[in-house]
């Protein structure tokens, strides 16, 4: 019995100060060219909170707008406000930086984060008012320390600064004096990922309408690694985030695959539910500080705002088939195997062509494709083009080769079967999964019958192999197989009815014998 997508959660965190303090492009520039004109220009190219909230792709990400509505907005989007924008959306929210620092502190169970007293006092009320932050988490917020203590930790004890509106308001301290796996830089990255994952978990529990106690397993698929000198990537982000989110009945583990990680994790989760190992599994991932301002130089050069100023996060709830929600079909998976090679056509054939053929379908039978959903507003100025559009062209070319499409219809294929890119360039975050909330709505409404999530990754980044990576899977309208034979009764009800029928049959045999 196929698993179903019970709900989705998508969160963004506006972190303008982290762009300068923690983004890899900026921190590298500080080392290589500390007096660069780029570093001087950054403050004037950072967006305000209002601009981030009213940014069209951000409103799509949290569910206030759809990719179909975004398609009607003329590019570029950064200079056009989305009317009626709200920080809260159908799928999640956009959290400001000050609230997020408090959430990071709540997620810190080893007293590595210090925040200044006045800053905590000023931010705590807004943090407590957040829709998904309960009293239990508010109670964990610490009073704070003196500014002098924070300054000393940063200047003399190798702590990483936490800056808000250009002012030092906190720090992340190292967890070990000599272990680089526990230095302040690594701890900050990991706590940011954990905190944004916690926000996504709290969000998805609410949006899916489940109790925290229902979650039995959590899989984290971010791009960070936590451990120490003896096990550098041992984990476990999943269980660490589940603890703070209050998922008391959950265990979990981490899955890694660079940008393809979320698709791998969702296949694993669907398999666990379908096999009956767990009834309710959540796949989650937090954001990545290194990607903040990654293409900032290109944006500044073109007199644009730095658009990579948000962390991303998501969570998806998978449960046993309820006869209603969209199903994940594990019968026909796309797999970039060791022998696939790195040619773009071969990659797309393995991820799209092979599973479509195995299912006995045409390329055009997939209503919507969701590959790498990078926001073209970000990638075009950096010279990377429109990444989703490039994927649709390759898929369409394979469809022509397969005889499913006329060559003249290639442009129309992208228009009909493609989804406009809208996700922040947070590495693993854009790869297929941002569309699941939208696709779930479309499937439930009966507007489409099936869609394909395509995750692709770059394993060569780890310097262990030159291989690419990728997996894909189909999401389909519920087939009704979740409804038990006896009028849609639950499995327990069916067992009870069967037992009752057997007892009645036995009694009738005894009566006949008498």
Asked if pLDDT for residue 245 goes beyond 90, the answer is yes
> Model's pTM, two decimal places?
0.93
Residue recorded with tokens 């998976």: 333
**Distance of CA 32 to CAs 44, 156, 308, Å?**
22, 22, 21
Is residue 168 assigned to a domain?
yes
Taking only the tens place, the pLDDT of each residue in 341-388 is 999 999 999 999 999 999 999 999 999 999 999 999 999 999 999 999
Is residue 26 assigned to a domain?
yes
Do 210 and 358 have their domain in common? no
State which residues form the domain around 372.
335-476
What pLDDT is stored for residue 483 in this prediction? 46
Which of 319, 354, 374 finishes a domain?
A: 319
d(CA 375, CA 456): 16
Note whether 513 and 36 are within 8 A (CB).
no
Do 292 and 379 have their domain in common? no
Do 122 and 144 have their domain in common? yes
Is residue 404 assigned to a domain?
yes
Is residue 268 assigned to a domain?
yes
Element (H, E) at 167: strand 167-172
Residue 281: strand, helix, or coil: strand
Do 183 and 37 have their domain in common? yes
Taking only the tens place, the pLDDT of each residue in 135-156 is 999 999 999 999 999 999 999 9
Asked if pLDDT for residue 506 goes beyond 60, the answer is no
Do 384 and 296 have their domain in common? no
**Distance of CA 225 to CAs 70, 138, 232, Å?**
35, 27, 7
Tally the residues of the chain: 514
Which of 319, 350, 372 finishes a domain?
A: 319
Is residue 418 assigned to a domain?
yes
Mean pLDDT of 217-233: 96
Do 301 and 428 have their domain in common? no
Write down the mean pLDDT value for the chain. 94
Note whether 71 and 420 are within 8 A (CB).
yes
Do 186 and 309 have their domain in common? yes
Percent of the residues in the chain that have a pLDDT greater than 70, as a whole number: 94
Note whether 83 and 77 are within 8 A (CB).
no
Taking only the tens place, the pLDDT of each residue in 251-276 is 999 999 999 999 999 999 999 999 99
Taking only the tens place, the pLDDT of each residue in 8-47 is 999 999 999 999 999 999 999 999 999 999 999 999 999 9
What's the domain count of the chain? Answer: 3
Is residue 329 assigned to a domain?
no
Asked if pLDDT for residue 166 goes beyond 60, the answer is yes
Is residue 328 assigned to a domain?
no
Return the beta strands (E) in 264-337 as ranges.
Answer: 280-285, 310-319, 327-335
Mean pLDDT of 507-513: 56
What pLDDT is stored for residue 481 in this prediction? 76
Asked if pLDDT for residue 161 goes beyond 50, the answer is yes
Do 149 and 253 have their domain in common? yes
Do 185 and 40 have their domain in common? yes
Strands 280-285 and 217-220, bridge-based pairing: parallel
Do 98 and 234 have their domain in common? yes
Do 222 and 267 have their domain in common? yes
Note whether 217 and 252 are within 8 A (CB).
yes
Is residue 326 assigned to a domain?
no
Do 499 and 458 have their domain in common? no
């Amino acid at each position: 019995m196929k698993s179903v997508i019970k709900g989705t959660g998508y969160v963004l965190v506006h972190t303008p100060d982290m762009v300068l303090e923690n983004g890899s492009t900026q921190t590298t520039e500080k080392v290589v060219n500390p007096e660069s004109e780029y570093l001087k220009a950054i403050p004037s190219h950072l967006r305000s909170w209002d601009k981030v909230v009213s940014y069209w792709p951000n409103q799509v990400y949290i569910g206030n707008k759809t990719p179909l509505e975004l398609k009607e907005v003329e590019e570029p989007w950064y200079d056009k406000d989305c009317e009626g924008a709200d920080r809260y959306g159908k799928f999640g929210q956009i959290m400001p930086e000050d609230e997020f620092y408090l959430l990071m502190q709540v997620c810190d169970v080893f007293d590595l984060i210090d925040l200044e007293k006045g800053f905590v006092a000023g931010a705590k009320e807004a943090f407590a008012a957040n829709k998904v932050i309960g009293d239990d988490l508010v109670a964990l917020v610490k009073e704070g320390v003196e500014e002098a203590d924070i300054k000393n930790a940063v200047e003399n004890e190798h702590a990483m600064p936490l800056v808000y509106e250009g002012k030092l308001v906190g720090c992340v301290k190292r967890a070990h004096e000599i272990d680089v796996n526990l230095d302040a830089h690594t701890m900050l990255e990991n706590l940011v990922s954990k905190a944004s994952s916690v926000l996504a978990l709290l969000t998805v529990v609410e949006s899916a309408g489940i109790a925290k106690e229902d979650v039995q397993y959590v899989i984290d698929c971010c791009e960070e690694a936590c451990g120490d000198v003896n096990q550098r990537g041992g984990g476990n982000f999943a269980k660490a985030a589940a603890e703070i989110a209050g998922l008391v009945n959950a265990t979990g583990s981490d899955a890694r695959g660079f940008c393809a990680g979320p698709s791998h994790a969702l296949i694993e989760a669907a398999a666990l539910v379908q096999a009956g190992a767990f009834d309710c599994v959540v796949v989650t991932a937090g954001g990545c500080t290194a990607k903040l301002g990654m293409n900032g130089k290109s944006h500044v050069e073109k007199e644009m705002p730095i658009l990579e100023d948000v962390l991303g996060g998501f969570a998806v709830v998978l449960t046993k088939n309820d006869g209603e929600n969209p199903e994940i079909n594990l019968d026909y998976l796309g797999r970039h195997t060791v022998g696939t090679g790195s040619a773009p056509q071969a990659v797309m054939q393995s991820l799209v062509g092979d599973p479509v053929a195995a299912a006995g379908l045409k390329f055009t039978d997939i209503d919507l494709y969701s590959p790498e959903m990078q926001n073209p507003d970000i990638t075009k100025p950096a010279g990377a083009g429109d990444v989703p559009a490039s994927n649709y062209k390759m898929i369409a070319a394979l469809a022509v080769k397969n005889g499913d499409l006329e060559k003249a219809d290639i442009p129309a294929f992208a228009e009909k079967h493609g989804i406009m890119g809208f996700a922040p360039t947070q590495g693993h975050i854009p790869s297929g999964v941002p569309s699941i909330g939208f696709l779930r709505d479309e499937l439930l409404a009966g507007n489409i019958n099936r869609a394909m999530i395509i995750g692709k990754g770059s394993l060569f980044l780890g310097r262990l192999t030159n291989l690419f990576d990728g997996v894909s899977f189909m999401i389909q309208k519920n087939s009704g197989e979740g409804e038990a034979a006896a009028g849609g009764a639950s499995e327990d009800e069916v067992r009870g009815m069967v037992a009752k029928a057997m007892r009645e049959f036995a009694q009738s045999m005894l009566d006949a014998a008498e």
